Structure 1
Amino acid sequence: MRSINSHFSIMISVFVLLFSFQFTNVIKSVVNDYASKIVNDYAIVVVSSAELKEEELKKQIPEIESLSEISSKKILDRLKNDMSSKNLALLQVALPKFYSLKLESIPNKKRIEAIKQKLLSINTITRIETFAKTHEKMFKMLQLLQAMVYIFAFFVAFVAILLIFKQIRIWTYEHNRRMSIMTLFGASFFMKSAMLYRMTIVDSLFSSFLVCALYTIAPKLGVVKDFAAELDIVIPEFNIVFEGGVLVGASLLFSLLAVTIVARKIGRV
């Protein structure tokens, strides 16, 4: 039972460490996807008394993605029954032109104001509506959530690393007598520590496979899909080859380093 508990201590610590690392990657992907959606949905409405050229505006505002005219046909269609064709024609000529201006990325409040001032400096432009407040507020909240997740994951990972080193230290003391005898017979450091390496690597591999399985299955569950749909976010699928390889490789590398550091440190005491 004691042996099982000691192995469980390593497995749960490595699991938490890898889970925290991958969770930050998922949050980063979700935030980036949401940011791209905001960029696609966000547009500045520009009212101008004359036609605007996208190329000319880009000279002053390089971050402009596109400029498209908003048709006034729907407004005129509603007035067909209330106005004569002559007055309707005059109104059509008198109506200003409306444009939807999209940017390559969501700028901050200061940059939005600078863009607005540059647009207003054009004589033909009479009004601008940025709609930036709502989008910026939502995006900042998402960025705050991302930062909080990163901080929480860091502290969780830090505690997990401490637990792993503590358990390896306990194993080293438990096998100290055997290692001392092997030292008398001239065994190398890696030969003396072979059992510690083997136990830690096996536990780490088991935990990494468990984390890979969790992140592979979770996005496909109906509950997770419904939750993501309600929040209008996309949970990325787990790349078993690349991301799984990174997790397994990281767990093995960390295990080897942890055992080496602890065993050498105790060996010098």
Structure 2
Amino acid sequence: MKSLKNHISLIVALFTVLFAVQIYVAVDRTIKAYETRLKNDYSIIVVANKTLSPDEFKAMDSIIDRSEPIATDQVLQRLQGEMSKKNLELLKLTLPKFYRIYLSRFPTPEEISKLQKRLQKNSSIQRVEGYAQTHDTVYKLMLLFKDVVQIFSIAIAAVTSLLILKEMRLWQFQHAERMSIMALFGAPVWLRSAVLFRLAIVDAIIATIVVCIAFFVIEENGWMDLLLNTVGITIDLFDFLQDGIRSLIIALSVSIILTMTIVIGNDEEE
């Protein structure tokens, strides 16, 4: 019963580490998906005194993906009853050209500032509006949320690793007599500690399976999808191939490295 309790303790500890890592991965995916959505929706308005082609805009900065002219026909139609046809034609010729510029990726506030300066260096461009204040607020909130989750995940991983070390020391004490007998017969350290490595590997596999089941339940429940859909985002919280393999590698790495730490430390004491 005591051995089972130790197994459960290690499985729960490894599960906590894997769950924290996966939460960070899911948050990172969410932010990237939101960045893509913002990139598609975000645009810069440019006012020019002459017609500019998409290639001319792209030559100004590599971050520019495409440009499209903003039609002024609606404005002119509203003035048809108030101005003569001749004056309308004259106004159409003198009216500035308006363009909407889309970017190839979601820019940082610094990139927006640099882009505005490069555009304004062109003599044909009269004004550039990048809505930097709104953009800065959204972008900084996203980065703050990601940093908080990262710090939280690292803290959980560090504390949980100490708990795993404690559990493995208990395993070592439980198998101390067997390991001592094997040492008397000249068994090498890795062979004496084989039981510890075997237990660590088995618990790592079990913890990975439990994480997969947990995220499967979350996916099937659908409440996270509803939350993400409210901001127009659809992502896979858990990819059972990619994330499952990553979780298994992390669990095995943590278990084996911490077991080696215990074994090497005990061997040096002897």
TM over 0.5: yes
Q: Which residue of 1 aligns with 2:5?
A: 5
Task: Report deviation, 1:87.
Answer: 4.0
1:162 equivalent in alignment to 2:162: yes
Paired letter, 2:92: Q
Distance in 2 between residues matched to 1:184 and 1:118, nearest whole Å: 76
Q: Structure 2 vs 1, CA of residues 5 and 127 (structure 1 numbering), >3 Å: closer, same or farther?
A: same
Q: Which residue of 1 aligns with 2:185?
A: 185
Distance in 1 between residues matched to 2:156 and 2:237, nearest whole Å: 24
Q: Structure 2 vs 1, CA of residues 74 and 13 (structure 1 numbering), >3 Å: closer, same or farther?
A: same
Q: Which residue of 2 aligns with 1:103?
A: 103
Distance in 1 between residues matched to 2:61 and 2:200, nearest whole Å: 57
**Runs (5+) with no aligned partner, structure 2:** none
Q: Which residue of 2 aligns with 1:268?
A: 268
1:62 is paired with a residue whose SS is coil
1:17 equivalent in alignment to 2:8: no
Paired residue total: 269
Task: Report deviation, 1:86.
Answer: 4.2
1:216 equivalent in alignment to 2:185: no
In the alignment, is the contact (CA less than 8 A) between 1:49 and 1:96 conserved in 2?
yes
Distance in 2 between residues matched to 1:110 and 1:19, nearest whole Å: 34
Which residues in structure 2 correspond to 1:200-239 (within 5 Å)? 200-239=200-239
Task: Report deviation, 1:10.
Answer: 0.3
2:13 is paired with a residue whose SS is helix
Q: Which residue of 2 aligns with 1:71?
A: 71
2:47 is paired with a residue whose SS is strand
Distance in 2 between residues matched to 1:100 and 1:57, nearest whole Å: 11
Task: Report deviation, 1:59.
Answer: 3.1
Task: Report deviation, 1:81.
Answer: 4.7
2:235 is paired with a residue whose SS is coil
In the alignment, is the contact (CA less than 8 A) between 1:47 and 1:99 conserved in 2?
yes
Q: Deviations over 1:205-260 (max 9, x none)?
A: 11111112222342342211111112333332422222212211332233223223
Distance in 1 between residues matched to 2:4 and 2:199, nearest whole Å: 11
In the alignment, is the contact (CA less than 8 A) between 1:219 and 1:235 conserved in 2?
no
Paired letter, 1:4: L
Q: Structure 2 vs 1, CA of residues 226 and 106 (structure 1 numbering), >3 Å: closer, same or farther?
A: closer
Q: Deviations over 1:163-199 (max 9, x none)?
A: 1111101110121112112222333333322332232
Q: Structure 2 vs 1, CA of residues 109 and 199 (structure 1 numbering), >3 Å: closer, same or farther?
A: closer
Task: Report deviation, 1:112.
Answer: 2.8
Q: Which residue of 1 aligns with 2:125?
A: 125
**Runs (5+) with no aligned partner, structure 1:** none
TM-score (norm 1): 0.89
1:101 is paired with a residue whose SS is strand
Task: Report deviation, 1:61.
Answer: 2.4
Distance in 1 between residues matched to 2:65 and 2:78, nearest whole Å: 32
Paired letter, 1:205: I
